[in-house]
Amino acid sequence: MRVILQRVNHARLTVGDKEISKIGEGYLVLVGYTQGDTFETCKYLVDRVIGMRIFKDENNKLNKTLTDVGGEVMVVSNFTLYGNAFSGRRPDFSKSAKYDEAKPLYDFTAQEFERRLGKVATGVFGEHMHIDMSNDGPITMFLEK
């Protein structure tokens, strides 16, 4: 499982012309799954994301967590995180988990964020989505297990 974590001022996700979800200050979390990922993998990375101390404290140090600042989370599936672009010009997505494997993991990941935080904004699994967001910092982290 791979996660791209972006600290954002706000994010808005649409499919076509329809707004699906939006958040204020918090994290935009792009998640990708590969063969062998499990619900335990998801739990581990949800815990890592929630525990990241990448919000500034009163001394201007990155020391506060998402829950410390009352931040929100938007979780979006992104199979391209396992794209291999090291040879040729067209990425190879064979390491990405197939739909039937990835969808339950994505649903579980979203549910785990909701269980831990009280609410979560999501994308639409398998759809072409548009995300408008303001990256804060910019702070972008890559997490993997």
Asked whether residue 127 carries a pLDDT value surpassing 90, the answer given is yes
* Residue whose tokens read 């010009």: 89
In the block, tokens 């549910």 appear at 111
**Predicted confidence (pLDDT) per residue in 27-55, tens digit:** 999 999 999 999 999 999 999 999 999 99
Residue 88: predicted pLDDT? 86
Counting residues of the chain whose pLDDT is more than 90, the rounded percentage is: 97
pLDDT in tens, 78-87: 999 999 999 8
Find the helix or strand (DSSP H, E) in which 26 lies.
Answer: strand 26-32
Q: Is the pLDDT of residue 103 over 90?
A: yes
- The mean predicted confidence, pLDDT, of the chain is 97
Question: If you average pLDDT over residues 53-72, what whole number do you get?
Answer: 97
Pairwise CA distance, residues 60 & 66, whole Å:
16
Q: Which helix (H) or strand (E) holds 47?
A: helix 39-51
- Binning the chain into helix, strand and coil, the percentages to the nearest 5 are 25, 40, 35
Q: What pLDDT shows up at residue 10?
A: 98
> Is there a contact between 27 and 11 (Cβ–Cβ < 8 Å)?
no
